[in-house]
Structure 1
């Protein structure tokens, strides 16, 4: 298990527990009280740390290398998954995966960004940063879902769309914009869940849903803290301050009414217990599917458009006129 910098006190205690358990002694009960005491201390420390996380610490958790990715969730919450490849224009983008599946017998089209676990797979998946082909593959999948009247589920986890020159040459912005236009009027339910990083157009390119959720330790923003710091202060050194003012956590976006709800994670993050995390995601998806399947195609489109039209609304306080 890899520990983040703010988890170091927990790592030190768990290392000590491991050392005590590995000691070769004749009477195993001799060290049991010490081990139990340290385990209780670890539980207390973990609760203390993870109930008072800063925004930057949640960004770090969203990027944890052991965190479950799209294919991990697909494996745990769906049955009969059949992956669809290619965009019918250029190639098959490995940064976005998707296909047909069932969730407790309910047919769905499910897709999302996919990162890699090691150097080779990260290069293969381009760290979850999709080229235009990825968004066009997603477009193709969603139109197939509409054709067969099947709900769409999208899982967002990307540091952004791929920024390479070749992606721009092949129409990166056009591919994302085309997806947004299509998703606004898609005649089937769309449910989006941020399972890790939700950065900029790379995330929203498959994230315009009737209902949008974020897992507890994820972030969703127009820009990453590092990029924001680089623009404002010409250095990455102020990324923590940038994360604080961007208001990019699940709680922030729930308050701002950008998302519809927060999906809980095990104490310590989704990577601590991927099975429990997947169960929480599945539970929310089934609730949303049950709710949305009662709506007509016209209602789905209308409520989706209204949802995004309301974002950014604000009221200017009326000027206080001093009576004379």
Structure 2
């Protein structure tokens, strides 16, 4: 028995009416009524992932011995069966739609691979997200919204064309309009889970889709931090100041919303804190390294350690605050 229970018992009065109920709760064997359901749902999702992955790898193999019509029919059949299973068997709905979402991506990839439509990679992901949005919105599942957020994030990344560190740091810079559009696109993605919650017909089961919100906000914060940092170490122009200011404003707004709004969440607070540290330390690094002296590196290391300590202390205080403000529908780590 947990020692905490002995402490509670010792601090309570002998005639406290809550003690018999506490004792009955402790000595009862307990029946994990939802355990079997969770295991079954998890196994169904794993099976859906394996089936869809196998089909996608089969498409990627591009076996020449099989005709195009056979491949296309098999992929379309798998997609149709997945959607049909979701309509006929409610217990299989989540796993079937998860499989259908992945198979849809394989179908679009096969069409682009076979018929050479000339479309860019971002157009494939954009079409994937647009077509899958139909059942993702109707299913009211946070898992499917997480998959959809990843697809849209991939579309945005492919649209920018900056797929590696060299392209981010050295390749041609974006124009001011392109830069602002990138900021707005990531902002729109971060707002999607909040909009889903605000529309009762689309709201996920259990209220807020916390994991899709964390995923969308994490991707947006990473993009905003990267844009601001790259612009900061580029030549000082009005575009640099505007990009850094807007990115900093978006990060600060995310941090405040994660702490003080109805959508407060500790994990989102941690993500926003990391992004804020990146922006502030980047600004300090730009100023320190202008000295061009050996002591600059040591000074920057000291600053990083100070900011790390302050951030940890602030996050501990934020966790206590969020626990104090925790409601029935809020999840705090």
TM score, norm. by length of structure 2: 0.31
> Quick check: which one's strand share is greater?
1
Q: Please, what TM-score do these two structures have when normalized by structure 1?
A: 0.32
Question: Bigger radius of gyration, 1 or 2?
Answer: 2
